[in-house]
Structure 1
Amino acid sequence: MPYIVAGGNGLERLEDEIKTLAENGATAIELGIPFSDPVADGPIIQKAALEAFKHNVTFQKIIEKLQVIHSPVPIVLMGYANSFFHYGLEKLLVDLEKTDVKGLIIPDVPYEHRELILPKLAQTDIALIQLVTLTSTKERMQKLVEVGEGFIYAVTVNGTTGIGQTYRDSLNEHLAFITQMSSIPVLAGFGVSTREQVQRFNEFCDGTIVGSKLVASLAEEGVEATGRLVAELTGKNE
């Protein structure tokens, strides 16, 4: 599942980016909402968010764009609580009815505060995705998995997103443990940037999320080259 920043290269390119990612093997797309203080994101994604602001991209404009384009695969919106609450959850869910958005990731809304959001999603087909981190206890992992919808986001490092992460030796066991507990797919993310990493994590969970590598490629190499990169990461051309 690729992660890209909505409007990082201008909203006029978003439809082409989504279609190209899907055509080259993406089974869903995580679409980041630009934010001024993205506490979970590293410098590449932070830079893309700033570029989006230079293009006058807003959450409202992103939703308006999603209302008029079609994605071949489900879209998962990733953003911070401030963005969602400022937009208004009730209004957002109404506005999303005619889009391909099927999930929300809000990393700064912890398990204990999920009731701020879950009741509003009850009458929709939109899932609230739970994140499981390396610092989560086994008891907490169990709670997160039990309430999980859509898929479980297994965070692979302590810290922010970015290329060149060093993974701990026990990560394979950690991913396998979560996958064994979960009745829904488990996807590993943060720092994944090579075909070898994708293959490694796919042995222990159901899929991987690649973000910073693709965000940088879209900005520096363009849409077609990024499509080829996704095909390489997924093994679509093998």
Structure 2
Amino acid sequence: MSRVADAGLSRLAFAALVAGLAVLIGVVVWAGWTYPGYDHTRQFMSELGATGAVTGRTVSIWGFVPNSVLMTVFGVLAAWILRHSALAVTACLMLAAFGVGMTGGGVYPCDFECSRSDPSPASFRHDVFGGVGYLCAILGVGLASLWARRSDAPGLARLGLVAVIVSVVGFYGVIAEVERAGLFQRAMESAIAVFMLALGWMLMRGLRSGRS
């Protein structure tokens, strides 16, 4: 009975993740097209939801927040499905924390154009939530990759290693605000998303933790 319930939860988790990513991609593409002069390679996604931006409230409330909440749901459900492995649970809860961090980043938008000079309290919280969320995601992917290696899922483990490397480089680009910071951010978020999709797909296909 437990296996049947977990199979249903795995489908729900994967559906939540796919829906969340679809919302994010749709809103970012729409907002980038609507925002005058916006450059996806040079500007952060958060600028689309920034205070004073033409797309600000719509992107934050109807894009960033729903996507992040659904990612949190995925992480929590995945942790329950893999509850027989402490390592897997920790990894999935880190991915859920990533969703929580991104939710906070949506609730508290950055200042116009995400300027860091004399930031408002909301902009400061945005940076804290976003930064901690990204670090949780990188840690979560790394731990999940280690668990996958121990669980006879070498393909997922290798994908996780690549995702961690791309994410670390992307995170550096975001923090350092390099010229193509938008591209670095999108590479990081894409790597994390691809790994989460792969994990969700494998859970739906029956990947489970062995009992302790």
TM category (shorter chain) comes to: under 0.3
Provide TM-score, normalisation by structure 2.
0.28
Provide TM-score, normalisation by structure 1.
0.26
- More helix, by proportion: 2
